[in-house]
Amino acid sequence: MIAIIDYDAGNIKSVEKAMTLLGQEAAVTRDKDTVLSADKVILPGVGSFGDAMGKIRQYGLEPVIRQVAESGTPFLGICLGLQLLFEQSDESPGVPGLGILKGKILRIPEAEGLKIPHMGWNSLAFPVRGRLFSGLAEEPYVYFVHSYYLEAADEQIVTAVAEYGTRIHASVEQGNVFACQFHPEKSSDAGLYILKNFVEL
């Protein structure tokens, strides 16, 4: 069973639908025991960093997420779910993130001809071919919606990058913890392939 953590963030239903398409049993839940007993855990998210961390703490989910990350259970953060795994974000100064991974979330710099938020399809490059991208064609196009991006402290955990006014660390992998800035559940066949790789870990 795959637990999809429910902390009132957007985009949960599309992740659940993608899991169903892949033939997976999925539970949208914030129940501690359900999350901790799951075979895999997904932290989705669309919205504000500060509001999301507030909800995670309100629902007592921070220690649960940490326990999953430390347990070896495969864990996937998606979009805002990636950003929350890190230490801080320019979007919500003074609000600490989960700090499970080291790095900071920065605002995409203004540049002529670039709209913010970065919304739409963009290709990925793989500095290191992580397990999520095993067997995937080079430079797949995936779907992004974000105004802030990751700059990981350790580039060795970065498994995919994208260019949009700056070099975006678009996916990371450290042990059992995986995360994508883009939305695999909205990224057509390439996204489903990435999610399939996750559920087959």
The catalytic residue positions are: 79, 183, 185
Give me the sign of the Cα torsion angle 192, 46, 138, 72. negative
Task: Tell me if 146 sits within 8 A of 118, measured CB to CB.
Answer: yes
Do the strands 167-174 and 177-180 form a parallel or antiparallel pair, or are they unpaired?
A: antiparallel
Whole-angstrom distance, CA of residue 12 vs CA of residue 87: 23
Whole-angstrom distance, CA of residue 29 vs CA of residue 153: 31
Instruction: For residue 124, give Cα distances in angstroms to 89, 144, 178.
Output: 23, 11, 16
The length of the chain, given as a count of residues:
201
Whole-angstrom distance, CA of residue 7 vs CA of residue 134: 30
